[in-house]
Structure 1
Amino acid sequence: MQNKRALMVWGLLVVAANLRPSLTGVGPLLDRVQADLGLSPAVAGLVNTLPLLAFAVISPVVPRMAPRRGPERLLASALVVLTLGIAIRWVPSTVSLFAGTVLIGAGIAVGNVLLPSLIKRDFPTKVGLLTSAYATVMGGVAAVASGVAVPISEVAPGGWYTALGCWIALALAAIVLWLPQVRTPRPAARAVSGHRLPWGSGLAWAVTAFMGLQSLGFYVVVTWLPQVVQDSGIGAAEAGWLLFVFQVVAVVTSLAAPAMLRWARDQRALATVNSLIMLAGYAGLLLAPQWALLWTVVLGLGGGACLVLALAFLSLRAQDAAAAGALSAMAQSVGYLLAAVGPAVFGLLHTVSSGWSTPLALMCAAAAGQTLVAVVAGRGTVPALRRG
C-alpha cells in the first residue's frame, strides 16, 4: 500500500514537472524563432498566448470528461497529447510550431485541472504539503527551462528546434511513471469530477479572482520584466538574470509554504500579506526602478507563495475531490484567460503611454485587488453543488 502511494506521489510530481518547461523555454528563444521563420512580433507573440487561451477553453470541459474516461486515463491521454505537441513543434516549420503549441496547451490544461483534485482525493490530509511540492517542482523545472534554452540552442544540432523539442524526454518519463495509475482500478465513488462548475458561489469567484490575478502577475513579469529593467539602464544580460532570480526566489518561497499552511488556522492572513508583498514589488519598480534586483526578489517572494496558495485553495475550499475538480476548472479557465490578456494589455499601455509608469500602475491596482479577494478566498468551503 505504501509503495503504491509513493508511486502515485512520484507520478504526480513528474506530471507537474511537465506543466511549464514547454512554455517558459520559449521566451528566451523568441527572437531566434521570429528571425528564422520570418514572423512579425505580433504573430511570434502567439507562441506564448496560445497555450494560455487553450487553458481557458479546455479547463471547463475537463470535469465533464473525467467521469467518462476516468481521471487517470484522461491524464495519461493528456500526457500523450503533450508529448505529440512537443514532437510536432520540433519539426522546423511555422505550421508545426503553432500546431504543436496548441497541442501542448491542451495537454497541460488537463493536467492543471486534474492535479489538485487528485491530491484532494488520494491525500486529503496532505493537501498543503503536496501542493507545495508540485508547485515547487513545476516552478523549478520552469526556471531551469528558461535558463538552459539559449545554451542548448547554441550547442545542439537543430538549434532552437532542439531546445524546444528536448523536453519530450521528460514527457515520456511522465507517461511511463503514470501508467501504473491507469492500470489500477478506481471505485466509481472516488471519481474526481462530476460537479457542475460553481458559477453561483461568491467564494468560488474569490478563489477564481485570486488565481487569475496571481497568474496575471506571473505572466506579465516573465514577459516584460527584462524590458522594463533594461529601459531603466540595466544591461540585457543582467536583465535576463533578473528574470532567472525571480523564478528561483519564487521556487524557494514555495518550499516554505507547507510550514506556513500548517501554522495558519486559515489562509486569509497568508494570502493578504503575500499579495501586499506583490504590491510592494510593483510599486518599487514604478517608483525606484534603479533598485530592480531588490524588487525582483520581493516579487519572487510574494509570487511563489501566492502560486502555492492559489493551487491549495482549489483543494482546501472544496468539500470533496469532485468539487475540487469543478472549482479547479472554473478558476483556471477564467484565471488563465486573464493571464493571456494581461501581457498584451501591459504592452499596449506601454505603447500608448510611451513609458512603463501606466502599465506598472495597472499592476499595482491588480495586486491591490488580489489583496481584497484574498480575505474571502482564504477561508470557507464552496457549497455542495449538483452533479452534472
Structure 2
Amino acid sequence: MTAFFALQSLNSYAVIGWLPTVLSDHGMSPDRAGVMLGLALIVGVPSTFVLMPLTRTAARLRSAFVLVGVALAAGYLGLLCAPLALPVLWAVLTGFGLGAFPLVLAIIGASGRSAQETAALSTFSQSTGYLLASVGPLGIGLLRSATGGWVLPLAVLLVLAALQLFVGLRLTPTRTEVSA
C-alpha cells in the first residue's frame, strides 16, 4: 500500500509541477499550458465519482486500477510522442489517471482488523508514501536539466505509471490467489 501511495502521489506531484513546462517547452503558450494543467486537475473530481463504485469488490477494484493506470500511461505516452497534437486529450487522460488516490484510500480503509490497525496502516502508508513521492518533482526536474529535454523524464514517468498499475493489481487478489 505504501508503494502504491508513493507512486500515485509522485505522479500527481510531477504532473502538477511540470505539465505546463512540458507543454510550453514544446511551443504552447504558457497561458494555454496552464489551462491544460487546470483541465487535468478538474478531471480528477468527476473521476472520483466514476471510480468509487468500483471499490466495492476486488474484481471491480482491479478494473479501477487498470483504468487509472492505462489512462495515466496513455497521457504520458501522448506527451512523450506528440505533446501538441492532442493536448486536451493528454490532459484529460493524465487527469483521469491521477484519480488513483481514492482507490488506495479504499484499500487502506478495508485492510485493518480494527480501527486502531487501520489508523496505523493509514498513518504509515500516507506519511512514508508522501515522503517518497516528494523526490519525484525534483528528480524529474534534474532529469530535464541533465538531458535538456523531456524524453527521458516522460519515459521515467511512463515506467512509473506502469509500476503503479502493477502494484495496484498486486493489491487486489484474483479469485485464484484467494482460494490458493
Q: Give TM-score, length-normalised by structure 1.
A: 0.43
Alignment partners' CA distance in 2, 1:350 and 1:331: 29
Deviation (angstroms), 1:292:
1.7
| Aligned partner of residue 289 in structure 1, secondary structure | coil
| 1:236–1:220 distance in 2 versus 1, CA, 3 Å | same
Deviation (angstroms), 1:239:
1.0
Alignment partner for residue 97 of structure 2, among 302, 318, 325?
Answer: 302
CA contact (8 A) 2:58 2:173 kept: no
Across the two proteins, how many residue pairs are aligned to each other? Answer: 173
1:206-285 mapped onto 2 (5 Å cutoff): 207-262=1-56, 265=59, 267-285=61-79
**Consecutive unaligned residues in structure 2, runs of 5 or more:** 175-180
Structure 1 residue 293 and structure 2 residue 88: aligned? yes
**Deviation string for 1:48-100 (max 9, x for gaps)?**
xxxxxxxxxxxxxxxxxxxxxxxxxxxxxxxxxxxxxxxxxxxxxxxxxxxxx
2:178 corresponds in structure 1 to none
Structure 1 residue 367 and structure 2 residue 161: aligned? yes
Alignment partners' CA distance in 1, 2:12 and 2:6: 10
Alignment partners' CA distance in 2, 1:263 and 1:354: 45
Alignment partners' CA distance in 2, 1:253 and 1:243: 16
**Deviation string for 1:263-284 (max 9, x for gaps)?**
6645223213321221111111
Partner amino acid for 1:318? G
Alignment partners' CA distance in 2, 1:379 and 1:324: 19
1:336 corresponds in structure 2 to 130
CA contact (8 A) 2:54 2:60 kept: no
- Quick one: percent identity of the two aligned structures? 38
Partner amino acid for 2:4? F
With CA pairs under 8 Å and 6+ residues apart, which has the higher RCO, 1 or 2? 2
**Consecutive unaligned residues in structure 1, runs of 5 or more:** 1-206, 381-388
Q: Give TM-score, length-normalised by structure 2.
A: 0.90
1:62-73 mapped onto 2 (5 Å cutoff): none
Higher percent of residues as helix: 2
| Aligned partner of residue 134 in structure 2, secondary structure | helix
Alignment partners' CA distance in 1, 2:162 and 2:52: 25
CA contact (8 A) 2:55 2:106 kept: no
**Deviation string for 1:276-312 (max 9, x for gaps)?**
22111111100110122111100111212x1110111
Deviation (angstroms), 1:261:
2.4
